[in-house]
């Protein structure tokens, strides 16, 4: 029997550098898997189906929803997003930790369904930097950018729903912080005791 992996949720407004941070974290840690979400939004330049997202038509998404294939789902900026259930459960059982990069609506659904989830919130170094990062992303219309700035500020208000703040001023520092959290959480008695007691054959 191996110890079950850790389920983690990582959220944070667009413009926090969350995507780059997650990529860096995964590259350094082969015991952490990213859950690839399904979405009905159009792919951005460079995005690949099955890698960044599973890009679905609305009817396909709704059918999967009806079949109970999502762990959680939400409508964000007019599109649907959902976490495929099978992959997450499979990886956790194999002892892999799984990261869900989802918004607050989805995060709250996960909190209801699973007891032992770790919630990480990525925060930009300053308001000015947040504005700069949203602007320089450059793939959106003015109206979409304004919408993202407003919702970024709304999202930051939800910080209190999370367990850890990840200040993303330096990517290496932020990555190390997440790695330390994973190690500490996996070593916590509440999470690991049944594994150790079984290993030494002393029952529970």
Minimal distance in Å, beta carbon 105 to ligand 5GP?
Answer: 5
Q: Of the two residues 2 and 141, which places its CB atom closer to ligand 5GP in the complex?
A: 141
Residue nearest to ligand 5GP (CB): 106
Report the C-alpha gap between 149 and 39 in whole angstroms.
Answer: 21
Instruction: List residues binding ligand 5GP (CB under 6 A).
Output: 14, 37, 41, 72, 74, 76, 81-83, 101-103, 105-106
Q: Of the two residues 14 and 97, which places its CB atom closer to ligand 5GP in the complex?
A: 14
3-state DSSP call for residue 32?
strand
List b or e across 153-184, with b for residues whose CB sees 16 or more CB atoms inside 10 angstroms.
Answer: eebbebeeebebebebeeeeebbebbeebbee
> Under 8 Å CB-to-CB from 140, ≥6 apart: which residues?
148
Minimal distance in Å, beta carbon 113 to ligand 5GP?
Answer: 13
Only one residue has tokens 């959106």, namely: 140
Q: Of the two residues 91 and 186, which places its CB atom closer to ligand 5GP in the complex?
A: 91
Minimal distance in Å, beta carbon 146 to ligand 5GP?
Answer: 15
């Amino acid at each position: 029997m191996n110890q079950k992996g850790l389920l983690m949720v990582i959220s944070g407004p667009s413009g926090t550098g969350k995507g780059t941070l997650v990529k860096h974290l995964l590259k350094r840690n082969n015991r952490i898997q990213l859950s690839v979400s399904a979405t009905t939004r159009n792919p951005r330049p460079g995005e690949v189906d099955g890698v960044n997202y599973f890009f679905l038509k609305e009817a396909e998404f709704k059918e999967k929803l009806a079949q109970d294939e999502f762990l959680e789902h939400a409508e964000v900026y007019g599109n649907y997003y959902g976490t495929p259930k099978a992959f997450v459960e499979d990886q956790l059982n194999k002892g892999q930790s799984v990261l869900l990069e989802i918004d607050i609506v989805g995060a709250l659904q996960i909190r209801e369904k699973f007891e032992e989830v770790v919630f990480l919130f990525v925060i930009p170094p300053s308001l000015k930097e947040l504005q700069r990062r949203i602007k320089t992303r450059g793939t959106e219309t003015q109206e979409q950018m304004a919408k993202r700035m407003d919702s970024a500020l709304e999202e930051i208000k939800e910080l209190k729903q999370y367990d850890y703040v990840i200040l993303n001023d330096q990517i290496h520092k932020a990555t190390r912080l997440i790695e330390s959290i994973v190690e500490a959480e996996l070593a916590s008695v509440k999470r690991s005791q049944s594994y150790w007691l079984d290993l030494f054959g002393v029952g529970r």
